[in-house]
Amino acid sequence: MNLTVVGIAIGAFVAYMSFQFGAWGFIGSLVFMAVGAILGRVVEGKVDLRRVWDALNGRRSSS
């Protein structure tokens, strides 16, 4: 499955949510998709939450 098919599936899902549940369904689906993407990257080990937290608190730079 390539990224074009994934993009089409995501677009279809978001369109369905917006038509079925209105603006709040659209916004809610985008929020849950973003949270799922972040959690997936944490589980894969591509994001270290401790470093992100330190950068947000100003203890370290983001570079």
CB atoms within 10 A of CB 55: 13
Average pLDDT, the chain: 87
**What domain count does the chain have?**
1
pLDDT level of residue 63 (50, 70, 90 thresholds) = low
Q: Put residue 58 in one of left, alpha, beta given phi > 0 → left and psi -120 to 50 → alpha.
A: left
| pLDDT reported for residue 3 | 84
The reply to whether 20 falls in a domain is yes
End-to-end alpha-carbon separation of the chain, Å? 33
**15 inside domain:** yes
CA–CA distance, 53 with 10 (Å, rounded to integer) = 29
Report yes or no on 39 lying in a domain.
yes
- 62 found inside a domain: no
pTM across the whole model: 0.67
Residue span of the structural domain in which 31 resides? 3-57
Q: Average pLDDT in the 28-45 region?
A: 89
Q: What is the pLDDT of residue 42?
A: 87
